[in-house]
Amino acid sequence: MTTSQQDPYAAPGRPTTEGTVYTVTGGDWDSLMDAAHEDRIVINMGPQHPSTHGVLRLILELEGETVTQGRPVIGYLHTGIEKNCEYRTWTQGVTFVTRADYLSPLFNEAAYCMAIEKLLGIEVPRRAEHIRVLLMELNRIGSHLVALATGGMELGALTGMTSGFREREEVLHLLEDLTGLRMNHAFIRPGGLAQDLPADYAEKVRAFLKVMNTRMPDYDKLLTGQPIWRQRLEGVGYLPVDGCLALGASGPILRAAGLAWDLRKHMPYSVYDEYEFEVPTATEADCYARYKLRVAEIHESLQLMEQALTKLDETGPGRVMVDDPKVAWPAQLSIGSDGMGNTLEHVRKIMSQSMESLIHHFKLVTEGFSVPPGQAYAAVESPRGELGAHLVSDGGTRPVRVHLRDPSFVNLQTMPAMSEGGQIADVIAAVASIDPVMGGCDR
């Protein structure tokens, strides 16, 4: 082995906290392999690796191509979202938490607002609840499509990647039509919604359902029955149900191991108890089972969206924000093109009513409303598992503590159990099947 004896950074056998480092150059690989040593190779996959879902670092210890130890390292995308919420009003916090798990922003908003509504002791109008279900299931479809697309890209199935992102564009177009923004909507607010859906929402949702029901069978032809895809995923990333429970895993990882645990069914929130749907499960507990389960969940979400349309028709027009002028900001507002500020027409209406109305609106927007002291936890079934929001109030207009129980953060603990003993190439498949979103881990 050839090294530079003068260079302290390239000394032979330099010890580090991760093991002994060897500097190998030129054609010296053969001599290194012939040398008698028992040191294992430690490599860093990420945090700038295209297959680590953003900025996830994996420290892998190898014996040849076999992974003997794997450790996930997070913290490279820390945004301080939870801490920032302590310096904003309760309503302004929605615009922060929606950016945590940025692939399922509406679920972040829903969990956060449900916890606030628990503390306030208020009940959301039924029309708003059904719209929340419609939007969350649409968001679930979009998130699962990204999981299929990025998983295909990382494993070399580029047609699966282009197809997945093509369908996700349909989701984002519809979300923009319904909420005004493609992502980070801040549409679900404490007490209800920022505004009602547009007049032509039913027509656009039905057009989307028609497109998706036409295109979903293509995934079975392209991936599900494809022998290379099956061989690449079957038996890879195995984690049985007892391992899932020991590590706190939830969502598709847990259901693909055979446990039909879904908060929408077993701990119903919002109005999910009024909907009929199945909880897909599998027993293989491998990457292929997780892939098939996400496809099955997309079909279930499409059916839930159809039911939501029917229930909205039955409910009819009505309020989408609680009828309490001390809480209902921004109730019945006309939202500007940026999705956040009020339109000039609405501002003129407020100013033309009375000085007291204008002052009240100004104070409600700038200072916010007070929330009774206490703490509350609310959880929803996000595309990745149990997403919970734990809020603490001291009775003021700002939260004392905001903490999100993000499923990506917890589910990443399963990576070593899925990968150790397997090939290094299978680490890519295992991480893709976990579907972590680092914005939620490093919030």
pLDDT at residue 331, as a whole number: 44
pLDDT by residue for the chain (443 residues), tens only, comes to 444 455 555 556 667 666 666 665 555 545 545 555 466 788 888 787 777 777 888 888 888 888 888 888 888 888 889 999 999 999 999 999 999 989 999 999 999 999 999 999 999 999 999 999 999 999 999 999 999 998 888 888 888 889 889 999 999 999 999 998 889 988 999 988 988 898 899 999 999 999 999 998 888 888 888 888 899 999 898 999 999 999 999 999 999 999 999 999 999 999 999 999 999 999 999 999 999 999 999 999 999 999 999 999 998 888 888 888 778 764 455 566 665 566 677 667 666 666 777 777 777 788 888 899 999 999 999 999 999 999 999 998 899 999 999 999 999 999 999 998 888 889 999 999 998 998 888 88
All structural domains of the chain with their residue ranges: 8-73, 81-329+368-441
Residue in the block written with tokens 């990025």: 150
CATH H-level, domain 81-329+368-441: superfamily: Cytochrome-c3 Hydrogenase, chain B (1.10.645.10)
Strands 188-189 and 66-73, bridge-based pairing: unpaired
Whether 109 contacts 128, CB under 8 Å: no
Residues in contact with 357: Cβ distance below 8 Å, sequence separation at least 6, in sequence order: 350
Contacts of 126 (CB under 8 A, 6+ apart): 271, 315, 318
Whole-number pLDDT of residue 358? 73
CA–CA separation, 173 and 210 (whole Å) = 15
The answer to whether 237 and 249 have CB atoms below 8 angstroms apart is no
- Please give the pLDDT value at position 340: 57
Do residues 442 and 403 lie in contact, with contact meaning Cβ atoms separated by under 8 Å?
no
CA 85/CA 96 separation, integer angstroms: 7
Can you give the pLDDT at residue 4? Answer: 43
Instruction: Report pLDDT for 45.
Output: 85
Bridge partners (DSSP) listed for residue 390: 377, 403
CA distances from 266 to 122, 262, 283 (A): 23, 6, 20
